[in-house]
Structures are given as C-alpha cells and as structure tokens.
Amino acid sequence: MQQLTVELGERSYPIYIGVGLLSQAQLLTRHVRAGQVLVVSNETIAPLYLEPVLAACAHLQVDSCILPDGEKYKNLEVLNRIFDTLLERRHNRSTTLVALGGGVVGDMTGFAAASYQRGVDFIQLPTTLLAQVDSSVGGKTAVNHPRGKNMIGAFYQPRCVIADIDTLSTLPEREYAAGIAEVIKYGLIADSEFFDWLERHLEALQSRDGEVLATAIARSCDNKARVVSRDEREGGLRAILNLGHTFGHAIETWQGYGDWLHGEAVAAGMVIAAELSRQLGWLDPAVVNRLVEMLQLLALPTAPPPAMSADRFIELMAVDKKVLDGKQRLVLLQALGQACVTDEPTMAQITAAIESSRRYTG
Ligand code: NAD
Ligand code: GLY
C-alpha cells in the first residue's frame, strides 16, 4: 500500500492506494471519530462493494443510502435523500459519511457532509479511476444546476481517501478510459516526465496492469495533492487542474449531462486547450500530436461534437465559474508540464482553436 498526504495543516489527511483495501476494516474505522456512519453509494456500486464496508463498521450504527446511478441525478433533489436518511436514522453532528463510488457519489456525499448540521466528517472510498486520481482528493464537493455543472457546492475536505485498486476491475472500459484522460492531464499541466512515462506505459495502463496502475494513481494524486496544498480554494494555482474543463463543461452542459462522460468531454477540451496554446505560439505542435495520439489509442474524443458550434461553446463557457470581470479565463499550456491561467486569448482566437480542433477526429 502507498500512502500520501494532502498537507493542509490541521485538516491534512492521508490518501491510501493499494489492493484489497476495502476489506481492511481498520483502515476505514480509524478515521471514524464516533459511533455513527452513513455509507452513501449508488445502485450499481452497492451490490459490488457495499458489503465489506458495512462489515467494517458492524460495531457502529451503520446505515446506508443508495442513490440512483448517473450524472443526471447529481442534483439538489436527490441530495435531499441523503439528508432524509440522516434525519430518519437520527444521525448527530459526530456522524461520519462514507462515499462509496465514483465522482458523482463522492461530490454529492461531500456536499451533504459539508452542510448536514453545518458540517460532519466524511471519508472517500473512490471506485472509479477518475475518482481515485482526481475527484476524491482536494475537497471540491457539489451538485449540478440545470444552468451549469457543479454550480452549488462547497470546499470541504475528507478525513481520508482509501483508493482500492481492486474495485477498478469491474469498471466498464469506457469509464476506465475516461479516467485515464485525467491522468494524462497531470502530465500536461505539471509533470512532463510523467507524460513521457505514460506514453511508454499507455498500453499496460489500458490493460489495467496492477503495478502500472498503482504508479499512475499515486503520481496523479501526488501532483494533485501538491497543487491543493498550495491553493486549496482556487485563488489562483489550483485552476490549472481544470485544463480542458471549461471547454469540457460546455460540452456536458450542451448535451444535458450524460451522453459523453466527464472524462471524455475533458479529453476533447484538453485538445482544444492544447490547440489554442499551439496557435498562440506557446506549445510545440508535436505535443498536441502526442496528446491526440494517446487519446485516440484510448478511443477518447479528440474533437468537439460536430453539431456544437463555436458560438454555443462561447455562450456556455460564459456561465462557467472561470469567468471573471467579463473575461474568459482559460487554462492553457506554455510548454509540456507547464500550465498557466490566462485571459489573454480573444474570442476570435478561442473560436479559431475550436474550429481547427475539429480536424483531430479519430
Ligand atoms: P460516476 O461517479 O458517474 O461513475 C461512473 C459510472 O461507473 C457510474 O455508472 C458508476 O455507477 C459506475 N461505477 C463506479 N465505480 C464502479 C466500479 N468499481 N465498477 C463498476 N461500475 C462502477 O463518474 P466519475 O467519472 O467517477 O465521476 C464524474 C463526476 O466527478 C462528475 O460529476 C464530475 O463533475 C465529478 N468530478 C469532481 C471533481 C472534484 O474535484 N470534486 C473532479 C473531477 C470530476
Ligand atoms: N478537479 C479540479 C480540482 O479539483 O480543482
């Protein structure tokens, strides 16, 4: 098992990465401060992994709340079911919420923990690759609003993250590949050595080789933890973690959540961001091609949806949280492994990059 720490002073917490971790009861319960636990999961994950988690907490009052599965249920109405269960089962302020699932369950459980009785503990047990390398770490919690993704939420850190790599064996291929998009993101924004390593190990990673997977998850979490430690509430630096996300969120909103996966939208978004960086003369064109080749090998989208116009992108991007004083802030690449946040590109340049990215179809 590997252990990393997200350094946030008295709110620092460990990330455990390894195999067979869900059946190590102690790992979970040592982070439960009192006698009540609510495990939140969904109807797909619960039949696979709920049992060992309930067993680990059998000496406590342990309840579960099983949500419907899907991004379309990541909303206030469904969130309320968590509060209903907490209140029905009389959970008090010392309860611990446990998020067993992917990013949707993790984000919703985290937000429920942030707001139930003004804040209770929570633990992340991520079961998708995306959640293990990104969403479970760093304390962003939220639900969607019909007008925008993750618009209602809070920064709220978990007590620990337990990433059991074994859970990834049941993850559908498409979900798994979408998670690799976020892994590649770390190489692009902050770790060119990791990008090179990923290129060399992409096929092993794609075939879920245990050792390669553990290295990729740990290196991703390490990169994320370092950024979060320096800028927890996204005053500046943390925004680099959103490479491709402003374009990606526009794609997701345009589709009404649920056609392309989040990681797929981010993959196409990263290509547009890299293409814009290239057009500005910042990024070596070879890097854009290397990125496109890696994503194509994974059968991930590398171009915007054909029916989505550049105007629609611009319109939807304007409601993203990255708009400040009317200027479109974007994460771009000054070089491989070196991201920056800028409002320099004009709308015409953004439009041109969206249009020219259309040629990278797989
Ligand atoms: P998800 O939570 O919808 O999970 C994907 C699918 O896989 C679901 O159908 C789920 O039930 C299923 N699943 C999960 N684990 C499984 C397993 N082990 N075996 C079989 N099936 C399994 O999607 P996701 O990609 O994990 O997360 C996407 C969400 O994360 C989005 O809502 C996004 O906004 C959010 N996100 C948050 C952050 C953050 O910092 N908080 C970062 C990135 C993404
Ligand atoms: N996924 C972006 C962040 O955590 O800031």
Are 110 and 192 members of one domain? no
Q: Supply the pLDDT for residue 324.
A: 61
Q: Supply the pLDDT for residue 258.
A: 61
Mean pLDDT, the chain, integer: 95
Which residue type occupies 29? T
Q: Supply the pLDDT for residue 268.
A: 98
Task: Specify the CATH number for the domain of residue 222.
Answer: 1.20.1090.10
Per-residue pLDDT of 201-250, as tens digits, reads: 999 999 999 999 999 999 999 999 999 999 999 999 999 999 999 999 89
Closest residue (by CA) to atom 42 of ligand 1? 135
> Does residue 321 carry a pLDDT above 60?
no
Are 219 and 97 members of one domain? no
Domain final residue pick, 139, 170, 201: 170
31 is an active site residue: no
Ligand whose nearest atom lies closest to the CA of 263: 1
Are 95 and 35 members of one domain? yes
CA distance 39 to 125: 10
Q: Supply the pLDDT for residue 33.
A: 94
Q: What percent of the chain has pLDDT over 70?
A: 97
Ligand 1 binding pocket, CB closer than 6 Å: 42, 44-45, 48, 69, 71, 74, 101-105, 107, 127-128, 130-131, 134-135, 138, 140, 150, 167, 170-171, 175, 178, 262-263
Structure tokens at 52: 């060992």
Domain final residue pick, 170, 189, 212: 170
What predicted TM-score, i.e. pTM, was given to this entire model?
0.95
CB 223 within 8 A of CB 190: yes
118 is an active site residue: yes
Are 69 and 200 members of one domain? no
Are 329 and 310 members of one domain? yes
Are 93 and 144 members of one domain? yes
Are 198 and 283 members of one domain? yes
Mutate to test the pocket of ligand 1, among 42, 43, 44 (most ligand atoms within 8 A of CB): 44
**Structural domains in the chain (count):** 2
Measured in Å, residue 285 CA sits from the centre of ligand 1 at 32
Ligand whose nearest atom lies closest to the CA of 161: 1
Per-residue pLDDT of 130-151, as tens digits, reads: 999 999 999 999 999 987 778 9
Task: Specify the CATH number for the domain of residue 98.
Answer: 3.40.50.1970
Per-residue pLDDT of 60-113, as tens digits, reads: 999 999 999 998 899 999 999 999 999 999 999 999 999 999 999 999 999 999
Secondary structure string (H, E, C) spanning the chain:
CEEEEECECECCEEEEEECCHHHCHHHHHCCCCCCEEEEEEECCCHHHHHHHHHHHCCCCEEEEEEECCCHHHCCHHHHHHHHHHHHHCCCCCCCEEEEEECHHHHHHHHHHHHHHHHCCEEEEEECCHHHHHHHCCCCEEEEEECCEEEEEEEECCCCCEEEEHHHHHHCCHHHHHHHHHHHHHHHHHHCHHHHHHHHHHHHHHHCCCHHHHHHHHHHHHHHHHHHHHHCCCCCCHHHHHHCCHHHHHHHHHHHCCCCCCHHHHHHHHHHHHHHHHHHCCCCCHHHHHHHHHHHHHCCCCCCCCCCCCHHHHHHHHCCCCCEECCEECEEEEEECCEEEEECCCCHHHHHHHHHHHCCCCC
Are 129 and 60 members of one domain? yes
Q: Look up the domain containing 313 and give its range.
A: 173-360
Count CA atoms closer than 13 A to 37's CA, side-chain side: 23
Domain final residue pick, 105, 136, 170: 170
Are 353 and 210 members of one domain? yes
Reported as a pLDDT band with limits 50, 70 and 90, residue 259 is: confident
Q: Supply the pLDDT for residue 116.
A: 98
Are 125 and 185 members of one domain? no
Q: Is the CB of 301 under 6 A from ligand 2?
A: no
Average pLDDT over residues 9-27: 97
Q: What percent of the chain has pLDDT over 90?
A: 91
Are 179 and 162 members of one domain? no
Are 228 and 274 members of one domain? yes
